């Protein structure tokens, strides 16, 4: 798509479009009505042809527009884009060109004219923005194509507001519209005065996302002391959350960036289980997890998986914390404990530790916040949360040896825990408690070896002999199974789907290991 740009000053929106080339669009020409306009130099630096058509002092608007049209007629273009072109164009111009667009620094139809930011501040509105609209003969009128909201803060003046609307609003909205036109997705209904855009739809993954969060607190620092950080909150979320949790020991220091991240991971893990469950998290990975008849027993089993790594970790429980559990928690250094309630006796115990942060979350463990996000430089990834929950009916036995009922129970526990282990991940489990965890390895074989080492050297009162193994993705070669056999593993749960599945199954049969396929992975990379 070829563009004809028109500006009276710097034309920063036009140059932003030129630099980004949305939808492959490029400028055939940039025209100005001021021979001293900085846009001329900026365009020339980019190799864009330029034209200057100034209006004579006694020249009519129509005559000037005809000369503009004459200048533009030397170029082929599909769309006219205005950016601070300080003239109201008449029918003469509009009928002589293709569709013309303009960007205005407010949410039209409010605050038209040249002093939009002054009007916004005088009106005391809390949200402004910009509007890209199709040009007609009115002042800042014509059908609206898109808008981008921008907050107005108490300390804003015209300059600060202008800068934010330009760089955060106009630089987003105008290229978006150019891309839509380049993709032939825009339909203008002049009779109705409306614009429709094909594919500009809502749903879980809308074509445009507008996210609004409130600052909850400034944090001491980010992941490292040299990084500044803050916590933002979405008040619409009803699911149990560490963001909305009450910190019961108010005299303790506030949670850090890493505390929040780890506590969130711990809480999400124990939401997997209906039975009393406990987990200890370190650097967003489980150091141990277990279910039992009581949270005290579950915590004891979880901690015994890797008490060395659990030092300075985060504890999460899916039941009210009682005194027996609290006594175990304070027996070694922990940063945070998260639970849906505490007995008075438990609080008396936990408050003995001055800087053990005690978080009270609500009892709504049902997943209601259905999406997760990962910021990237220049954007963000959005996906559904991994809410898969397998049952025995989802498992396909692929080996000669059938797993026992006890092994199946252990497999399912291991699989649901493994969902919260950083990939590549391997987890050993015995019954409904972890034995060894190998996480975050670039080699799946190394993940098996790490889990075996953890079970052999770090676990207390348990080992890998007779345990089951869960893998978050398929085994590409038999070597992972062979390592598991050396560790004493007797059953394996994994997704399957490798082109070498047959040789992997053969290796399991050779070592008399039962193996089931889930048909789905449980990768976690964050």
Q: What is the pLDDT of residue 14?
A: 98
Contact 524, 422 (CB under 8 A): yes
Q: What is the pLDDT of residue 334?
A: 96
Please give the average per-residue pLDDT across 220-241, as a whole number: 94
Using an 8 Å Cβ cutoff, are 238 and 251 in contact? no
Residue 21's pLDDT is: 97
pLDDT at 453 over 90: yes
What pLDDT is recorded for position 87?
85
Going by C-alpha positions, the residue among 204, 229, 167 that lies closest to residue 375 is 229
Distances (CA, A) of 393 to 110, 261, 396, 518: 59, 34, 8, 10
End-to-end CA separation in angstroms for the chain:
40
Residues 64, 104, 117, 416: which is the catalytic one? 104
| Residue 104 falls in the annotated catalytic set | yes
Name the band, by pLDDT with cuts 50, 70 and 90, for residue 235.
confident
Give me the residue label for tokens 């999406």.
371
Asked if residue 424 lies in contact with residue 444, where contact means CB atoms within 8 angstroms, the answer is yes
Q: Judge whether residue 251 has pLDDT over 90.
A: no
pLDDT for the residue numbered 281: 96
Q: How far is CA 320 from CA 313, 326, 347, 367, in A?
A: 19, 10, 11, 19
What is the rounded distance in angstroms from the CA atom of residue 455 to the CA atom of residue 417? Answer: 16
Structure-token match 């009928």, residue found:
95
Kindly give the interhelix angle for 479-487 and 444-457, rounded to the nearest 10 degrees.
10
- Look up the pTM and report it: 0.86
Q: What is the pLDDT of residue 259?
A: 95
* 372-409 confidence digits (pLDDT tens): 999 899 899 999 999 999 999 999 999 999 999 999 99
Q: Determine the Cα–Cα distance for residues 219 and 257; give it in Å rounded to an integer.
A: 7
3-class DSSP state of 392: helix
Q: Are 359 and 246 in contact (CB under 8 A)?
A: yes
Structure tokens given for 68: 């503009």
Kind and range of the H or E run holding 517 = strand 514-517
Does residue 369 have a pLDDT over 90?
Answer: no
Q: Model confidence at 448, in pLDDT bands (50, 70, 90)? A: very high
Give the pLDDT confidence of 160-211 residue by residue, as tens digits.
999 999 999 999 999 999 999 999 999 999 999 999 999 999 998 999 988 8
Q: From its phi and psi, is residue 519 left (phi > 0), alpha (psi between -120 and 50) or beta? A: left
Q: Say how many C-beta atoms besides its own lie within 10 A of residue 374's C-beta.
A: 11
pLDDT at 49: 98
Domains parsed from the chain with CATH numbers: 2-197 (3.40.50.170), 218-360 (3.40.140.20), 390-517 (3.40.140.20)
**Is the separation of the CB atoms in 467 and 432 below 8 Å?**
no
In angstroms, the CA 153 to CA 160 distance is: 10
Mean pLDDT of the chain: 95
pLDDT, tens digit, 9 for 90 and up, residues 479-515: 999 999 999 999 999 999 999 999 999 999 999 999 9
Q: Is the pLDDT of residue 250 over 90?
A: no
SS3 129: strand
Closest CA to 263 of 290, 246, 283, 237: 283
Question: pLDDT digits over 74-90, tens only?
Answer: 999 999 999 999 888 88
Cα distances (angstroms) measured from residue 524 to each of 173, 265, 439, 449, 521:
33, 11, 10, 19, 10
List of E strands, 8-126:
26-32, 50-52, 79-83, 100-104
Query: What is the mean predicted confidence (pLDDT) over 35-55?
Result: 97
Residue 42: the pLDDT is 97
CA distances (Å), origin 286, targets 74, 329, 452, 523: 68, 16, 15, 15
Name the phi and psi angles at 365, rounded to 5.
-90, 5
Question: Quick one: pLDDT band at residue 264, thresholds 50, 70, 90?
Answer: very high
Residues in the chain: 526
| pLDDT (tens digit per residue) in 467-483 | 999 999 999 999 999 99
Average pLDDT over residues 315-340: 97
Identify how many contiguous H helices and E strands the chain contains and give both numbers: 16, 25
């Amino acid at each position: 798509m070829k563009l004809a740009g028109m500006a009276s000053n710097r034309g920063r929106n036009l140059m932003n479009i030129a630099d980004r080339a949305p939808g492959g669009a490029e400028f055939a020409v940039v025209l100005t009505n001021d021979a001293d306009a900085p846009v001329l130099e900026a365009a020339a630096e980019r190799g864009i042809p330029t034209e200057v058509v100034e209006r004579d002092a006694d020249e009519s608007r129509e005559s000037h527009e005809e000369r503009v049209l004459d200048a533009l007629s030397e170029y082929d273009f599909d769309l006219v884009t205005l950016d601070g072109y300080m003239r109201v164009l008449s029918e003469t111009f509009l009928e002589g060109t293709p569709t013309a667009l303009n960007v205005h620094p407010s949410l039209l139809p409010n605050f038209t004219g040249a002093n939009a930011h002054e009007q916004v501040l005088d009106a005391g509105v809390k949200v402004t923005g910009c509007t890209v609209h199709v040009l007609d003969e009115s002042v800042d009128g014509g059908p609206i194509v898109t808008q981008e909201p921008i907050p107005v803060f108490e300390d804003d003046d015209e300059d600060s507001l202008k800068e934010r609307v330009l760089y955060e609003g106009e630089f987003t909205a105008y290229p978006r519209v150019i891309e839509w036109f380049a993709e032939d997705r825009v339909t203008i209904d002049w009779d109705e005065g409306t614009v429709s855009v094909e594919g500009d739809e809502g749903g879980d993954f809308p074509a445009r996302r507008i996210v609004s969060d409130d600052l909850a607190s400034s944090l001491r620092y980010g992941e490292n002391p040299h990084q500044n950080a803050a916590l933002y909150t979405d008040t619409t979320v009803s699911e149990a959350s560490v963001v909305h949790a009450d910190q019961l020991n108010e005299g303790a220091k506030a949670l850090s960036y890493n505390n929040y991240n780890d506590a969130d991971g711990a809480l999400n893990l124990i939401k997997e289980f209906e039975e009393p469950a406990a987990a200890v998290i370190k650097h967003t990975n489980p150091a141990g997890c277990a279910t039992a008849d009581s949270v005290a027993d579950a915590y004891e089993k979880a901690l015994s998986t890797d008490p060395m790594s659990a030092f300075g970790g985060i504890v999460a429980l899916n039941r009210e914390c009682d005194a027996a559990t609290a006594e175990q928690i304070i027996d070694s250094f922990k940063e945070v404990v998260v639970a849906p309630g505490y007995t008075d006796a438990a609080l008396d115990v936990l408050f003995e530790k001055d800087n053990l942060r005690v978080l009270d979350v609500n009892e709504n463990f049902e997943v209601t916040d259905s999406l997760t996000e990962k910021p990237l430089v220049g954007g963000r990834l959005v996906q559904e949360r991994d809410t898969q929950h397998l049952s025995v009916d989802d498992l396909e036995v692929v080996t000669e040896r059938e797993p026992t009922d006890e092994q199946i129970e252990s497999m399912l526990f291991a699989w649901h825990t493994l969902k919260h282990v950083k990939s590549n991940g391997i987890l050993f489990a015995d019954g409904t408690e972890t034995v060894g965890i190998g996480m975050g390895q670039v080699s799946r074989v190394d993940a098996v070896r790490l889990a075996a080492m953890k079970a052999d050297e770090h676990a207390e009162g348990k080992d890998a002999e007779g345990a089951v193994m869960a893998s978050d993705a398929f085994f590409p070669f038999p070597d992972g199974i062979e390592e598991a056999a050396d560790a004493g593993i007797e059953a394996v749960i994994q997704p399957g789907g490798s082109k070498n599945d047959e040789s992997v199954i053969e290796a399991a049969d050779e070592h008399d290991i039962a193996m089931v396929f889930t048909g789905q992975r449980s990768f976690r990379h964050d």
